[in-house]
Amino acid sequence: MGSWNTSSEEGFILLGFSDWPHLEPVLFAFISIFYSLTLFGNTVIIILSQLDLRLHTPMYYFLCHLSFLDLCYTASTVPQLLVNLSGLDRTISFGRCVAQLFIMLSLGGIECVLLVVMAIDRYAAVCCPLHYTAIMHPHLCRALVVFSWVGGLLNSLIQTSLVMAMPLCGHQLNHFFCELPVLLKMACEDTGGTEANLFVARVIILVCPLVLILGSYAHIARAVLNIKSMAGRRKAFGTCASHLIVVVLFYGSGISTYLQPVQRYSEGEGKFVALFYTVVTPMLNPLIYTLRNKDVKGALWRILRRGTDSSSRRGNKNQ
């Protein structure tokens, strides 16, 4: 019988996608491309938010933090997944497994709360446009981001502690990272009490934020319907559309993984859902915000034009 104590000596073997060996080279190629795009897209958004004064607004302040979270999210799983797919090393030590579980739950929890903060920002922009700058004061924005981080870290600490208290059987994890439902399925004893506590923690970090987001958008929808001009409605909807798409992608995959009973959790399906929210969603987020956003595209062109102008001036001086 294994436990977290004995696993601390031997670690775990991550089976990854070894059930589908013919898929591994294809997955390796696609995930490498997606990871590169994720790093590039999110880094560009962070740099633009810092360099362009027109983007020094609450919306882009929160977006910058979302991009940072996506970078951390992929960095905590994708490099290891690529090593796993290459067949070089499929093992993970006990310490790294616990750290990965804590980091992934933390980042997921922080993003849950941050998406609520972004919904509040959109509510203030659409429903209270005249008082927007007074409501979304820089001090409040910083406080809301700190609250997101503290809330996500505390929730993760509780969930990780509950999982670590369980004895586990075996050393093979049928996943590509230390995912919570997979660890629960490895439990050697009845986990009813632990699962109930974990479910409460997951409802707090997943369902409560989602209810707040839906409530914000109910008020936003009412305000948009009261706008008489179609141009005004289109503009109001445009400020919220990108955030709504990100919310649907993030919460859809999160709820399907974390709010179903452990007995119904399928490792095979779970791997591909996890692949979606650890690889695909962080890559799509920058595209969603840039392709639908004139401010970000304008900032990018201004930075590029500034760079080409300065290089041409240097070239003229050299001549």
Domain-embedded: residue 236:
yes
Per the structure, the complete domain to which residue 122 belongs is given by: 4-298
Between CA 265 and CA 268, with CA 267 as vertex, the angle to 5 degrees is 120
- Please state, as a whole number, how many other Cβ atoms lie within 10 Å of the Cβ of residue 152: 22
Residue 162 resides in a domain: yes
Query: What pLDDT shows up at residue 314?
Result: 59
Q: Is residue 319 part of a domain?
A: no
Q: What is the pTM of this model?
A: 0.88
pLDDT attached to residue 317 = 59
The number of domains in the chain is 1
Please report the pLDDT score of residue 234 as a whole number: 81
Tell me if 314 is assigned to some domain: no
Q: Which pair of tokens denotes residue 57?
A: 């607004």
Q: Which domain CATH number covers 249?
A: 1.20.1070.10
Chain centroid to CA 142 = 19
Q: Tell me whether residue 305 is in a domain.
A: no
Counting beta carbons within 10 angstroms of the beta carbon of residue 230, is it exposed (0 to 12), middle (13 to 18) or buried (19 or more)? Answer: exposed
Task: Note whether 79 and 279 are within 8 A (CB).
Answer: no
Do 140 and 102 form a contact (C-beta atoms < 8 A)?
A: no
Domain membership of residue 78 (yes or no) is yes
For residues 283 and 37, the answer to whether their CB atoms sit within 8 Å is yes
Q: How far is CA 97 from CA 165, 181, 226, in A?
A: 14, 14, 51
pLDDT in tens, the chain (319 residues): 344 444 555 688 999 888 888 889 999 999 999 999 999 999 988 988 888 778 888 988 999 999 999 999 999 999 999 999 988 788 898 889 999 999 999 999 999 999 999 999 999 988 888 899 999 999 999 999 999 999 999 999 999 999 888 888 878 889 999 999 898 888 887 777 888 899 899 999 999 999 999 999 999 989 888 888 887 788 777 778 888 999 999 999 888 888 888 888 888 888 999 999 999 999 998 888 876 667 777 777 777 776 565 555 555 555 5
Question: Tell me, what's the pLDDT at 206?
Answer: 93
At 155, list the tokens.
Answer: 């929730």
Residues 25 and 178: their CA atoms lie apart, in Å, by 22
Q: Classify residue 313: in a domain, yes or no.
A: no
In a domain, residue 307? The reply is no
Q: Is the dihedral of CA 231, 235, 236, 242 positive or negative?
A: positive
